[in-house]
């Protein structure tokens, strides 16, 4: 991994959630992240430099994957270590198939990220597979369910093939990369108070 500095935005999701397709759509590059009809093709933590200070992180998929259990356990260990130890991790994009959202592992990921104080964007992928009314209904239900995880969770419907939700995803990630870190702001306020005292 690069030095633990700057800003990293990580992408996580079940092995068949369409994570690589979302990264390709976001970066406007068809082959940046490898896509496959076989779930679990992302077997490493892949780092994509956006600028000198900003990186997008493609994490190994969790859950179902056509790989040996020992390999899958290794991925899970790497995923856990990254999420727990990476100080420059600013936000987490959790991708879920809109037809099967909020599975147990998705909720575990959201719970961990919320406890860690991360900004969270839930992207309900493959939104083109549902009608507009079904999309709206599912979006509303998931937004209501995500209130449980706190105020730092935003939810959008997303389709890498049709472009649904792409402007919203770009806007959220841009905001994460440009807004001051709450911890840094608290330290600055504390320093200012000390000087005034």
What are the Cα distances from residue 131, in Å, to 50, 93, 126? 34, 24, 11
The answer on pLDDT for 16 being more than 90 is: no
| Token duo for residue 11 | 């992408």
d(CA 87, CA 188): 18
Query: What's residue 35's pLDDT?
Result: 56
Other C-beta atoms closer than 10 Å to the C-beta of 108 total 11
Q: 115-145: string of b/e by CB count within 10 Å (b at 16+)?
A: eeebbbbbbbbbbbebeeeebeebbeebeeb
Q: Output the pLDDT for position 34.
A: 60
What is the CATH architecture assignment of 7-196?
3-Layer(aba) Sandwich (3.40)
- Show me where the domains of the chain are located: 7-196
Biggest distance spanned by C-alpha atoms of the chain: 62
Q: Which of 42-46, 138-142, 191-195 has the lowest mean pLDDT?
A: 191-195
Average model confidence (pLDDT) across the chain: 84
Can you tell me the mean pLDDT for 126-133?
96
């Amino acid at each position: 991994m690069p030095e633990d500095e700057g800003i990293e935005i990580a992408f996580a999701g079940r092995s068949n959630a369409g994570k690589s397709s979302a990264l390709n759509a976001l970066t406007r590059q068809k082959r940046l992240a490898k896509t496959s009809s076989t779930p679990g093709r992302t077997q490493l933590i892949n780092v994509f430099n956006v600028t000198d200070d900003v990186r997008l992180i493609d994490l190994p998929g969790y859950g179902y994957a056509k790989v040996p259990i020992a390999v899958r356990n290794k991925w899970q260990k790497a995923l856990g270590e990254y999420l727990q130890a990476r100080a420059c991790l600013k936000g987490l994009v959790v991708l879920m198939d809109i037809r099967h959202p909020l599975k147990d592992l998705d909720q575990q990921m959201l719970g961990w990220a919320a406890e860690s104080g991360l900004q969270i964007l839930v992207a309900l992928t493959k939104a083109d597979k549902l009608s507009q009314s079904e999309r709206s209904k599912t979006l509303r239900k998931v937004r209501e369910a995500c209130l449980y995880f706190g105020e730092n969770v935003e939810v959008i419907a997303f389709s890498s093939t049709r472009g649904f939700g792409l402007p919203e995803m770009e806007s959220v990630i841009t905001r994460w990369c440009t807004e001051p870190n709450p911890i840094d702001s608290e330290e600055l306020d504390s320093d200012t108070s000390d000087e005034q005292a």
